[in-house]
Amino acid sequence: MDVQNSLAQLGVKRGLGASQLATAVGISRQTVYAIEAGTYVPNTAVSLRLARILETTVEEIFQLEPEERASAETAEAVVLGDPQSLPPGQSLRLCSVNGHLVAVPSEAGAWGLPPSDAVLLAPILGGKRLPNAKVRILGNSWNNPARILIAGCDPSASILATSMPRQDCELVIAYENSSRALELLHQGLVHVAGTQLEEKIEGKNTLLPITKMFPRNSVAVISYAIWQEGLVVARGNPKKISGIADLARKNVQIANREPGAGCRVLLDELLKEHGITPGQVKGYERVALGQLPAARLVQTGARTAASVRRQPRAHWAWTSSR
């Protein structure tokens, strides 16, 4: 509660202990201790009796916390993802992006606590309102002009993050698929978006999804990495998978990516080329959120194969305002 009290100090000043106060006011000694600790706020009658016994005013015993302190600790933020699916107390990383306070759920470590700038208090209900959650801020270390928020699903972004401090920059990663990353950049909620989405026109790959979404000269685009596209299979390829046609076999199960992911787009294109419907592919409806989670399902034997990477080239785009 946002209520402070001076009950213990006033009791000492008047020479009254907890037992004497409790007897005089008609409450238990445990209740006095709870009031002093700030875990219990008494009703009006008890507050008035305390003030009379201590020869003071209710306002001197109980005070509201200063408004500036409360506002410095709590804030409204845009949590990427669905804040209603997150538990209260969820650890968050914070970034300032185009005037928005943007929060990214922290990845839990295998042993240690994840880095945290804030914790989730509660979602703000009401459609697609921005901001969409109330958070409690933990210190001011997040308020760094050199902190950059990047959205994308490229696993190598974590390697880049380790080298950023040498450039006096800090990288916070929001793991989102290619389509969602571009949407967040378009909405002004991230500084950089990673994408593998390209389209083939007359035999040439183009950045058409980006050029359709952003006006000319409003973003900068660089080619960041080159990846091979294909299927990840279990060690030794026990199912003898050699191509897309094998995904229709009854003894093959896949780990699919979510709609909007580059790998999902490529898989759908190749299935259509081979005359295979999604219903013929076991595991098509079960998705893995990310390249590595999909590959781990194959590694553990939960799935036979997983598609990775749509195009051999990955791109990063960022707005010209950064």
Q: What is the model's pLDDT at position 119?
A: 94
**Arithmetic mean of pLDDT, 183-202:** 81
Q: Is residue 158 part of a domain?
A: no
What residues does 118 pair with on adjacent strands?
92, 137
Q: What is the model's pLDDT at position 190?
A: 94
What residues does 225 pair with on adjacent strands?
314
Residues 52, 84 share a domain = no
Q: What is the model's pLDDT at position 203?
A: 55
- DSSP string of 192-231? EEEE---EEETTEEE-HHHHHHS-TTSEEEEEEEE---EE
Q: Is residue 169 part of a domain?
A: no
**Arithmetic mean of pLDDT, 53-71:** 77
Q: What is the model's pLDDT at position 97?
A: 92
* CATH at 37: 1.10.260.40
Q: Which of 45-49, 152-156, 222-226, 240-244 has the lowest mean pLDDT?
A: 222-226
d(CA 59, CA 53): 14
Q: What is the model's pLDDT at position 163?
A: 84
Q: Which of 61-70, 209-218, 225-234, 256-265 has the lowest mean pLDDT?
A: 61-70
**Arithmetic mean of pLDDT, 129-146:** 88
By C-alpha distance, which of 189, 186, 197, 187 is closest to 172?
189
Residues 88, 99 share a domain = yes
Q: What is the model's pLDDT at position 188?
A: 92
Q: Which residue among 92, 120, 143 closes a domain?
A: 143
Other Cβ atoms closer than 10 A to 109:
9
Percentages of the chain per state (helix, strand, coil), in multiples of 5 = 30, 25, 40
Q: What is the model's pLDDT at position 309?
A: 47
Other Cβ atoms closer than 10 A to 246:
16
Q: Which residue among 125, 143, 161 closes a domain?
A: 143
Angle between helices 18-25 and 7-14 (to 10 degrees): 100
Q: Which of 114-118, 131-135, 279-283, 309-313 has the lowest mean pLDDT?
A: 309-313
Residues 251, 302 share a domain = yes
Torsions phi, psi for 113 (to 5 deg): -75, 145
Residues 82, 61 share a domain = no
Asked whether 3 and 62 are in contact (CB, 8 A), the reply is yes
Asked whether 7 and 32 are in contact (CB, 8 A), the reply is yes
Residues 84, 25 share a domain = no
Q: What is the model's pLDDT at position 289?
A: 77
Tokens linked to 85:
């699916």
d(CA 94, CA 78): 10
Express as a percent the part of the chain with pLDDT over 90.
34
pLDDT, tens digit, 9 for 90 and up, residues 9-26: 998 888 998 999 999 999
Handedness of CA 186, 190, 192, 194 (dihedral sign): negative
Cis peptide bond prior to 145, omega within 30° of 0: no
Q: Which residue among 65, 89, 112 closes a domain?
A: 65
Please name the residue that has the structure tokens 């003071």: 56
**Arithmetic mean of pLDDT, 1-13:** 84
**Arithmetic mean of pLDDT, 96-121:** 86
Q: What is the model's pLDDT at position 162?
A: 84
* CATH at 257: 3.40.190.10
Q: Is residue 236 part of a domain?
A: yes
pLDDT value at 48 more than 90 = yes
In the predicted model, what is the mean pLDDT of the chain?
83
d(CA 255, CA 153): 16
pLDDT value at 72 more than 70 = no
Q: How many domains does the chain have?
A: 3
Residues 309, 265 share a domain = yes
Q: Is residue 82 part of a domain?
A: yes
pLDDT value at 293 more than 60 = yes
What range does the domain containing 10 cover? 3-65
- What's the full length of the chain, in residues? 322
Q: Which of 62-76, 264-278, 308-322 has the lowest mean pLDDT?
A: 308-322
Q: What is the model's pLDDT at position 103?
A: 96
pLDDT value at 111 more than 80 = no
Q: Is residue 192 part of a domain?
A: no
Q: What is the model's pLDDT at position 54?
A: 93
Residue 269: pLDDT band (50, 70, 90) is confident
